[in-house]
Homo-oligomer: A and B are copies of this chain.
Amino acid sequence: MKYLHTMVRVTDLDASRRFYCDALGLTEVSRKDYPQGRYTLVFLAAPGDESAQVELTHNWDPETYTGGRNFGHLAYAVDDIYAACERLQRHGVTINRPPRDGRMAFVRSPDQISIELLQRGAALPPAEPWASMPNSGNW
């Protein structure tokens, strides 16, 4: 038995690619259009960790996706949590839970999927602007 992926539905595939790939750092592993079913599937993964994927389902007919409390978040380890948060910010992503402790941050996808970032190994020394940045919204 093997974990394959977590599937999330996305309203806007371009906005989702900018978030998951450009800002978060995942890469596109594969993509396929299904014209008969009117949807596109895109599989993403962290570089070098292609066996654990995120599946983006984009239904071509517009639908608004709201969240529920039974799903919590997706979590990724990163090599430098400050660099990861800087890149997210540069792409316009709000850092809902800044890494004040040099260890943990939370952001949200365009469809409000919560993403946890955890510093690999020991926490980094506290550093500005993160150390004094307040929480924003919820995650």
User: Which positions in A face B, CB cutoff 8 Å?
Assistant: 1-9, 25-26, 45-49, 51-53, 55, 57, 63, 65-79, 84, 109, 111-113, 116, 118, 120
Contact = CB atoms under 8 A, between A and B. Distances in A.
B68 A3 contact: no
A136 to B, nearest CB: 19
A66 B72 contact: no
B4 A75 contact: yes
A105 to B, nearest CB: 13
Given A4-B116, A7-B72, A8-B72, 6 more contacts: A1-B78, A2-B52, A5-B74, A6-B71, A8-B71, A9-B72
A65 B65 CA distance: 17
A4 B55 contact: no
Contact of A70 (B1, B48, B66): B66
